[in-house]
Structure formats: C-alpha cells, structure tokens
Amino acid sequence: MFNFAFNSFEEAIYMNGHGIYVWIVLFIVVSCITIFFITYRKKIQKIKKKLNESN
Amino acid sequence: MIKKFIHQFASPKTYLYQVNRFYPYIFYSSLVIYIISLIWGLFFTPEDFVQGNSYRIIYLHVPASFLSQSLYLAMAVASVTYLVWRVKLAAYLIIAIAPIGAMTTFIALISGSIWGIPTWGTWWQWDARITSTLILFIMYLGLISLHNSFSNFEKADKLTSWLVIIGAVNIPIIKKSVDWWSTLHQSASITLTEKPTIDVLMLYPLIGSIIGFLGLITCLVLTSSKYQILIREKTKSWIRDYV
C-alpha cells in the first residue's frame, strides 16, 4: 500500500509530463488557503487593536 | 423549546469562547491529515491506466468541489435558522462562509480546468457540471456583493438569507448534472448508497484529503465568523472584556 510509485524523485516531480498540471494545482490550493488564513488573521488583529484603543 | 435551545447555545459570546477552545485541535489535526493524505496520494498511489499521473489532481480537486457545495448547504441551513428563529449568529455565519465558499468553488473550477487539459484536451467545456459550478461561483460573489451593498446589516442579512435559499436549487442540479445530461465529466466515484468505483489504494488517501481539507476550511470559517462577530458586536460590553 505504501510503495513509492516512481523510480526516482525526478520522475516523481516530472510524472511523465503531467507533473506541471499537478504542481500548479497544488500551488493554487496552498496559496488560496494561506492567503485567506493570513488575511483573516490580520483583519482580526486590526479590529482587536481598534477595540483596545477605544477602551 | 427548540428556540430556547438554539438561543442559549448560539449566542455570539458562547460561540466565540468555544471557537477559541476547540480551534487549535481542529487546525493541527486537519493539517496533519491533509499533508499525509496528499503525500500518500501524490507519491504512493499507483498510476491510473487511463489518465496516467494527471489523475493525482483528484486529491486536490474533489475536496474543493465537495466543500464548495457543502458550504452552500451550510449557508442555506443558516439562512433558514436566521429567518425562522432570528438567530444572530446564523446571519453572521452566512456572510462568514460566503467568501470561503467562493474560494473553494474557484479552486474546484481552476483545478478542474487544469485537469481537463491533459485528460479531455480542453480546459473548458460548457457542459452541465462545469456550467452549474460556475453559476455557484457567481452566486457566491453575488451574495457577498449584495450583503456589502447595504449599510443596514439587518436588511442585508434578511435579503441575503432569502437569496441563499432561492439559490440552493442549484446544489441538486450540480450533484445530478452528470446523471441528467450527457457530459464530459465522469459520474461520482464515491456515493453513500453504492460501493465506490475507485480502487481502495486510491480511495483511502482521497478520503483523508477530503477530511483534512474539510477541517482546514472549517478553521477558516471559524476564523471568518470570529471576525464577523468582532465587527458586528463591537459596541457590546462583553466584547471589550474579550479583547
């Protein structure tokens, strides 16, 4: 069940020419999630700071 | 009785404190599950004999696609809860979920398009599944725009809730589109009623990636709802104690 599906690391990256599609999608997914987490975190910090100043 | 129960457990204050309590557990466990499932799926599952290695996009596309529809259903439930029982938290959740739903639908559309290039030979086809998913994405954007166009939050919440309920008709259309019409898109590999058509070696990491992505998106919704509560309840005295 846990056999490495490729003969080498280079082959795993290249994926018989399909690697480019897989890695682009992975980049998009990771970027979207990270951007959303960072944006909301910053927004919360900003509103908390504002509320603290008004207290 | 139901009304009393909902109002007791859905107060923004109780919700905010509970979110802070459970958030780290959900976040870290989901992150670990998602990373392990992706490594498993991308490197340790056998190559598909028809699609080759491009099928590995399934571990990124399917969770996003599943979540894009699930989040809309969650918004529809929140809309009914708000309109029937006037639960404020439900209204906050609708607008907290909408941008994240738009993001997951965007990922589903983009990943599907990229997957289509090596598999179908085209990145876009106006078939039933892809078109209905594009409509879902436009609906998410429309709901966000509608809510932001009002300065009166109560009016915005009410109209957005009605629009969410009306738009929910698109969800069964997306789900059944591959059965009702002849499309390029394959029918579902995993259903609740039938045995999965996908091999178990590919199935387990797929289930893991769905669970991990679900957990991470749940954390995003919790964070987004926390922001909505801070914005909407900023004049309340308990918020000052909280921050």
Residues 154-213 of B with CB under 8 A from A: 201, 204
Give per-residue pLDDT as tens, B38-81.
Answer: 999 999 999 998 899 999 999 999 999 999 999 999 999 999 99
Phi first, then psi: what are they for B123, rounded to 5°?
-90, -15
Query: Which letter does DSSP use for residue A45 in this model?
Result: H
Give domain status of residue A22, yes or no: yes
Closest-CA residue in chain B for A25?
B111
Dist. CA B41–CA B212, nearest whole Å? 13
Instruction: Give B110's contacts in chain A (Cβ within 8 Å).
Output: 25, 28
Among B71, B110, B220, B243, most A C-beta atoms within 10 A, so best to mutate, is: B243
Question: What is the count of structural domains for chain B?
Answer: 1
Give domain status of residue B115, yes or no: yes
Q: What domain range is B200 assigned to?
A: 23-242
Give domain status of residue A41, yes or no: yes
Give start and end residues of each alpha helix (H) in A1-55. Answer: 9-14, 19-54
CATH of the domain at B180: 1.20.120
Give per-residue pLDDT as tens, B140-188.
Answer: 999 999 999 999 999 999 999 999 999 999 999 998 888 888 777 777 7
Give domain status of residue B153, yes or no: yes
Dist. CA B59–CA B41, nearest whole Å? 7
Task: Record the pTM.
Answer: 0.93
B192 CA to chain A: closest CA distance, Å? 24
* Closest to B139 measured CA to CA, from B169, B177, B112, B183: B169
Give domain status of residue B206, yes or no: yes
Residue identified by tokens 């289509």 is: B116
- Beta carbons of A22 and B42 less than 8 angstroms apart: yes
Give domain status of residue A42, yes or no: yes
With CB atoms and an 8 Å threshold, state whether A43 touches B227.
Answer: yes
